[in-house]
Every structure is written in structure tokens, then in C-alpha cells.
Chain A
Amino acid sequence: MFLKIASSIAIVICCTLLGIHMSYRYKQRIYNIRVLQSILAHLETEIVYYSTFLSQAIRNSIRTLDGDWKIFFIEVADILENRKEYSLAEAWNKSLKKIQKNPCIGKAELDIMYRFGLQLGNSNRQNQQKYFEIAQQQLKIEEENARQLHLRYGKMYRSLGLLLGLGIAIILF
């Protein structure tokens, strides 16, 4: 009897944690988008006003920030410095593929960054600034979307986790 109760409690706790983890993804996605926005703002300053080399500009931009996009930018800077690929677009795409499976990063942001990477370093300063502005605007829209998804599904996954745990425990009891 004791074993039965203990295992039921364990099932309920595990499922609740699973639900909390699922809802955490939505929260983390909003945070990642916000970090990405500030990285891009920083990168814009580095490129448009300081004219730093891109790999160094990227390293300067991500120095104080964290989040899942940091891995991507570090990867891009590494590839550029080691000259593993021929162009920035290749380095960019290769690094994007690496973080594609991260559940805390939405497909929309990946798409925005993919298109942004195709334009980066292809034109003069004013034009580059325009591309940065476009990317920022799109990211702002995505942040709003992510916030709405979080409000809608975050709570749902949390309660569903607990309820699923209770259901399994009752059926197996």
C-alpha cells in the first residue's frame, strides 16, 4: 500500500514537472527574442558607427548577454575567424542549423535571422542600417506573438501536466 502511494506521488510530481518544463519553453522563447534584439542593436552600432570586423563585432555584442542565441553567434564568430567557410552567408547558415532544434527558439526567428544573414555585409552603411531596422521590427512582432502564445498555452501546459499525472496515477492505482 505504501509503495503504491509513493509511486503515485512520484508519477504526479514527474508529470507536473514535465508540464512546467513545457510551459517554460514559451517563457524562454520571449526572453531569447529580447536578447536577440539587444544583440542586433549592439551589432548595428558596432558595424555602422565603429566599422569593426564582423567576428570582433559579434564577440563585442554578445559579451554581456546570455540566452540560447549566444551559442549561434559564438559559432559564427568562430567559423569566420578560423576561415572554415568561404562566405558569411555559409557560416551563418551552418550555425543556424546548429541551433535549429532548440525548443526555446521559434521557427519565425530562425527565418528572420536566415534572411537577415543573407543581407549582412552585402551593401553600404545606410543600407545595412535599413536591414537591421527591418529585422528589429520583425523581431518585435514575433515577441508579441510569443507573448500571446505564452499567455495562452503556458498556463494550459502547466495544468495539463498536473492533470495528466493525476490521471495516470488514478488509472494505475
Chain B
Amino acid sequence: MEEAKVNIDIIFKIAAIGILVAVVNHVLIRAGREEIAMLTTLTGVVIVLLMVVNLINDLFNSVRSIFRLY
């Protein structure tokens, strides 16, 4: 149960970061700074990837153990 709660938290966090990055992107493009907007998007993607990398690892481990691919 504890595991599931953590995952839900992380999903909300990722959603919030996504919304924020979208808004920052919009603001920067309106101010005519496309290159920095691009950079923020990339930063957002990297931060989210860093957050989910453990979960992806868990997923791959589960897949391996379920299908016995050792």
C-alpha cells in the first residue's frame, strides 16, 4: 500500500512539472526567447527522467522476473 502511495505522489509531481514547464515555455515564447524556451523544455524532461528512472528500473526488473529472462 505504501508503494502505491509513493507512485501516486510522483505522478502528481510529474503532472505539476509538466504544467509548469508548459507555462514557462509559453511565457518565454511570448517574450521572443525561443532558444531559452527550448532549454527549459529539455530541463523539464531531464528532471522528470531523473525522477522516474528508479521506477523504470523496477519495471524492467519485474518484467524480467515475471518472464524468467535471467
Contact = CB atoms under 8 A, between A and B. Distances in A.
Interface of A: 152-153, 155-156, 159-160, 163-164, 166-167, 170-171, 173
Nearest to A167: B20
A160 B17 CA distance: 14
Contacts, number: 32
Interface in B1-55: 13, 16-17, 20-21, 23-24, 27-28, 30-33, 47
A152 B31 contact: yes
Is chain A's binding surface mostly helix, strand, loop or mixed?
helix
Contacts of A152: 31-32
Q: List the 8 closest pairs (A to B, CB-CB), nearest first.
A: A156-B31, A170-B16, A159-B27, A163-B24, A167-B20, A152-B31, A156-B27, A166-B20
Contacts of B33: 156
Interface residues of B, number: 14
A167 B27 contact: no
A156 B32 CA distance: 10
Contacts of B31: 152-153, 155-156
Nearest to B28: A156
A163 B13 CA distance: 15
Nearest to B33: A156
Nearest to B43: A167
A159 B28 CA distance: 10
A163 B23 contact: yes
29 contacts: A152-B31, A152-B32, A153-B31, A155-B31, A156-B27, A156-B28, A156-B30, A156-B31, A156-B33, A159-B27, A160-B24, A160-B27, A160-B28, A163-B20, A163-B23, A163-B24, A163-B27, A164-B24, A166-B20, A167-B20, A167-B21, A167-B24, A170-B13, A170-B16, A170-B17, A171-B13, A171-B17, A171-B47, A173-B13
